[in-house]
Amino acid sequence: MGKKIGFIGLGVMGVSMASRIIDSGYELYIYNRTRSKGDSLVAKGAHWCDTPRSVAENADITFTIVGFPKDVQEVYLGSNGIIEGAESGKIFCDMTTTKPSLDIEIAEELRKKGAEMADAPVSGGDTGARNGTLSIMVGASEKVFEALLPLFQIMGKNITHMGEVGAGQNTKMANQIVIAGTMCGVSEALVYGAKAGLNLEKMVATISKGAAGCWTLDNLAPRVLRKDYEPGFMVEHFIKDMGIALEEAERMELPLPSLALTKQLYMAIKAEGMGKKGTQVLVKALEAMAGKEIL
């Protein structure tokens, strides 16, 4: 397999992931709906492409990480989409968090053209993308996984082959279910600690060393204490993920009451115009319920 890599979707995480690939010596072909988001990569020598089809035609392996299932559908199967540039021997890897059934459908369409597909959603936010420490959950054949592994190792540290296409997305749903509950717990602890008059920096440092220790406490609680609500991961994207998980759970006849509640709290945050803030802004929903600013 050659060293020509495609990357579609240059948002908060995508631009850092793509940057690590070009810094590792690969020839990079990029596309994003907003062209200016690719400027930093073009300055490093990346080739700008005007359509997803053009990326697919030029690259041996193409990664996608876009926003919503409709965006995945459009990038792969729409007019001037990847499917029109796909050909035998090429590999496509969707790193968006999306519906398992959608990536399975896309994989079937790509196979008709002799191309291969993997789904590999990630966890770790903007920090993990910058530092190359993402957790990557992969659904693919053994052959495709082995072909992608050197590139995954540039972007992440914890890389797991979960099974065939779709298995990566289902693993990510389990990940998002845990994060939803954890985000609620951390947010409630922060407003509780503030109301009780604790030194919050000390509180976070103390409880993070015990059984409460988690990624959210280490990475997002400090942002809340700085009143930094800019996104490592956007509220509206998290709502999308929770919706997918709840839809899949309903199909499997599984009750997920904690997840349903968390989604409602984030819906309230979005209704207040904070859909593009980071998920740590959940504390604002708790303050609104208390009727006062606490932090």
Residues identified as active-site? 172
What is the C-alpha separation between 196 and 188, in angstroms, rounded?
Answer: 12
Looking at residue 271, its amino acid is: A
Which helix (H) or strand (E) segment holds residue 29: the answer is: strand 27-31
Give the CA distances from residue 21 to residues 14, 94, 118, 210, in Å, rounded to whole numbers and listed in that order. Answer: 11, 16, 18, 36
Cβ pair 123, 134 in contact under 8 A: yes
How many other CB atoms are found less than 10 A from the CB of residue 125? 20
Q: In the 8-state DSSP scheme, what is residue 56? A: H
The position carrying tokens 């000390």 is 202
Cβ pair 238, 177 in contact under 8 A: no
Give the CA distances from residue 108 to residues 72, 102, 130, 282, in Å, rounded to whole numbers and listed in that order. Answer: 15, 10, 32, 39
